[in-house]
Amino acid sequence: MSEREIQRIKCPKCGAEHDFEIWPRVNTDLDPILKDKVKSGELFRTVCPSCGQPIDVVYPCLYHEMENRIMIYYAPGEKAMQDALAAFDEGLGATEKERGLDAAKKGYRNRVVGSLYDLQEKIAIFEAGLDDRIVEICKVMIGSELQESRPDAVFDDLLFYQDKGGEGRLALMREGNAFASISLPGDIYKEVGERFKALIDRYGDAKVIDMQWVLTSVNRAGNE
Ligand SMILES: [Zn+2]
């Protein structure tokens, strides 16, 4: 079930207040329109009715695609992140019947992300039918190649998306804005998936799958 609340928003520019609907729980099977609003960012953005100032509204949101067995906790901030990880440890993501069983074995993909960009990226990766763990490894590899071949292209993140033709691409991000993109070829994805299969089998049940997960897992594998 989706869950909504009304939050009073104060404009940082003019100080006027207005009510905004926030969604701490989103169930895309019951409320398909919410999926589009997460993807567009509309669920986390409002405009001051007095002065027109765009305002980002940051709040934790549990995003659930029942049919696709995907549960992503958008947990902005350290405290929200700890709460989200604890909730999964206590059996969130598994149904009542499955509780006590390993949710991963039932095919549920449980993730915790710290930013709206990361939430939107996870949705795009799963929608493309890809494994986010393989995509993250590709990002680390392609990212370090880019840093060598194009030292002028300073980026702080790479974000996966599908272009209009359905091809996977990585957007080069700087301070939250995409300024260029590079292809993520299907054959590279496949090759990386095969090469790192053992690593993914061993460390891939983590809830936070990001570049840090890749680096930590590679390190651990190297030390064993
Ligand atoms: Zn205002």
For range 82-98, the mean pLDDT = 77
**Residue 42 Cα to ligand 1 middle (Å):** 18
Given the structure tokens 């496949």, which residue do they identify? Answer: 190
**Residue 165 Cα to ligand 1 middle (Å):** 40
**Residue type at position 214:** V
Query: How many Å apart are CA 175 and CA 173, to the nearest integer?
Result: 7
**Residues 138-183 pLDDT 10s:** 999 999 999 999 888 899 999 999 999 999 999 999 998 999 999 9
**Residues 20-46 pLDDT 10s:** 999 999 999 999 999 999 999 999 999
**Residue 22 Cα to ligand 1 middle (Å):** 19
**Residue 5 Cα to ligand 1 middle (Å):** 21
pLDDT band at 94; cut points 50, 70, 90: low
**Residue 44 Cα to ligand 1 middle (Å):** 17
**Residue 61 Cα to ligand 1 middle (Å):** 25
The pTM score is 0.91
Q: Do residues 116 and 41 touch, judged by C-beta distance below 8 A?
A: yes
Q: Do residues 34 and 4 touch, judged by C-beta distance below 8 A?
A: no
Query: How many Å apart are CA 224 and CA 217, to the nearest integer?
Result: 11
Q: Do residues 218 and 143 touch, judged by C-beta distance below 8 A?
A: no
**Residue 56 Cα to ligand 1 middle (Å):** 13
Residue 44, both tokens:
């986390």
Could you tell me the residue ranges of all domains in the chain?
3-127, 132-223
pLDDT at 107: 73
Residue 110, both tokens:
């449980």
**Residue 20 Cα to ligand 1 middle (Å):** 14
Q: Is the pLDDT of residue 96 over 60?
A: no
Query: How many Å apart are CA 70 and CA 51, to the nearest integer?
Result: 39
DSSP H helical ranges for 115-157? 116-127, 132-149
